[in-house]
Amino acid sequence: MPFELHHTALRGDTPGHTTELYWYTAGPADAPTRVHLQAALHADEQPGTMALHHLLPRLRDADAAGQLNAHFTIFPSVNPLGLANRSLRHHIGRYDVETGINYNRRWPDLYPLVADRLAGKLGQDPAANIALLRQAVLDWIDEQQGATAIQQLRLLVLRSAATADIILDLHCDDESLMHIFTSPELMPGLQDLADWMGVAATLTAEDSGGGSFDEVLPSFYRKARLANPGYPVPNGAEAATLEYRGRADSFDNLGELDAGGLFNFFAGRGLIAADTPTPTPSPAPVPFEATEVLRVAAPGLLAYRVQLGEHVTKGQPVADLIAMDGPQAFLARTPVLAGTDGFVLSRVTAKFVKRGTGIAKIVGTKPLPSRTGGYLLED
């Protein structure tokens, strides 16, 4: 299949409103490996879109040269609905303004929805089992109506991902070093991706608690495997969330660098016929439960004491919180202390914070009691 632009109209929820979604395909339609790439599911996170902007011409040229050994589906800005979410000169692209739901939460738990279709059908051929599982998901998706615009969008995107062997969801943090979120059983298999990205951390969790997009397919295959002992069910999809630094880091030079990392990752897998250098090894994965989301106990103005990447020890001040009310208003400073040993992966850019705000992530090595069996995301 030649490099091609596609688009579809998402029916609006009010009269006179439709939204166009654009995406590209490249590579042979019958290739044995399928890749799904998307960026800006949180529509206010643009570094991934910049990376795909620089990757697309390279895929176009590789396709024209007959160098693509996989079928690629690329959504450079996968959430046009979120692009329209603006209020008082601010872009609110992280949440559906109608419902308040985070666009990267509450994606469906697929296995319970299709388990009955699979009863008695799995056998001893792993590839055949994956094909059965995928078809069950596709059949379920095709039966859904998509009553709202966001439901239409989710079903279209999920259908593409459900056919893919590699699913990469490009995001960014507020202010951050490069990192990856993925499922533990996919490591060290995705270590090559981490190396080509040059990440500071790979954080793993089977279930981070929010129904994130990157967990949908790995969770589906995991649950199918656990529910059908004695039948081989491999990991049918390598999926990960790629965090490309912070929201302000959308620049051509970084986009070119990140596109090069993605291109070399695919080439290293043999999915693009191109020579690649050897990447610099990145750190081994750590459980997401070992990462502290440092929160403040009061409102105030933040004054950071540490930089991104800086190592801290438990009890060390990470920031001061300047009081903005009370008897010492605008005079008192209260230290905000690290709850674990580790390094500072991310910080918030908005320095006025309310009580309970997560102001930094500190990546440690040992799971924290406060982070086991609960909701791991900041939301």
Q: What is the pLDDT of residues 58-103, one digit of tens each?
A: 999 999 999 999 999 999 999 999 999 999 999 999 999 989 999 9
191-227 pLDDT per residue, tens: 999 999 999 999 999 999 999 999 999 999 999 999 9
283-297 average pLDDT score: 97
Backbone angles phi, psi at 79, to 5 degrees: -130, 75
Task: Give the tokens for residue 328.
Answer: 């010492």
Residue 361, strand partner residues: 293, 346
Residues above pLDDT 70, as percent of the chain? 100
The H or E element containing residue 49 is helix 47-64
CA neighbours within 13 Å on the CB side: how many for 7? 9
Angle between helices 252-268 and 47-64 (to 10 degrees): 50
Residue 164 CB partners (closer than 8 Å, separation 6+): 34, 35, 36, 73, 237
Query: Given this model, what pLDDT does residue 21 score?
Result: 98
Query: Given this model, what pLDDT does residue 309 score?
Result: 98
Write the CATH number of the domain with boundaries 4-284.
3.40.630.10
pTM of the predicted protein model: 0.97
Residue 165 CB partners (closer than 8 Å, separation 6+): 33, 34, 35, 236, 237, 238
40-60 average pLDDT score: 98
Is residue 239 pLDDT above 70, yes or no?
yes
Rounded Cα distance between 370 and 148, Å, is: 37
pLDDT class for 379, splitting at 50, 70, 90?
confident
Is residue 266 pLDDT above 80, yes or no?
yes
Is residue 1 pLDDT above 70, yes or no?
no
313-334 average pLDDT score: 97
Write the CATH number of the domain with boundaries 288-371.
2.40.50.100
265-280 average pLDDT score: 97
Contact 178, 145 (CB under 8 A): no
Per-domain boundaries in the chain? 4-284, 288-371
The DSSP result for 112-173, as a single string, is HHHHHHHTTT--S-HHHHHHHHHHHHHHHHHH----SHHHHHHHHHHHHHHT-SEEEEEEEE
Contact 149, 8 (CB under 8 A): no
Contact 202, 284 (CB under 8 A): yes
Rounded Cα distance between 107 and 377, Å, is: 15
Average pLDDT, the chain: 97
Is residue 372 pLDDT above 90, yes or no?
no
- What stretches of the chain adopt beta strand conformation (E)? 4-11, 18-26, 34-39, 71-75, 86-87, 90-91, 166-173, 175-176, 179-182, 201-204, 238-246, 286-287, 291-295, 300-304, 311-312, 317-322, 333-337, 342-347, 352-353, 358-363
Query: Given this model, what pLDDT does residue 2 score?
Result: 87
Rounded Cα distance between 182 and 161, Å, is: 15
Tell the residue number behind the tokens 């790995």, with chain if given: 218
Q: Which residue has the higher pLDDT, 110 or 378?
A: 110
Size of the chain in residues:
379
Rounded Cα distance between 332 and 322, Å, is: 6
Q: Minimum mean pLDDT among 95-99, 175-179, 282-286: which range?
A: 95-99
Rounded Cα distance between 354 and 120, Å, is: 53
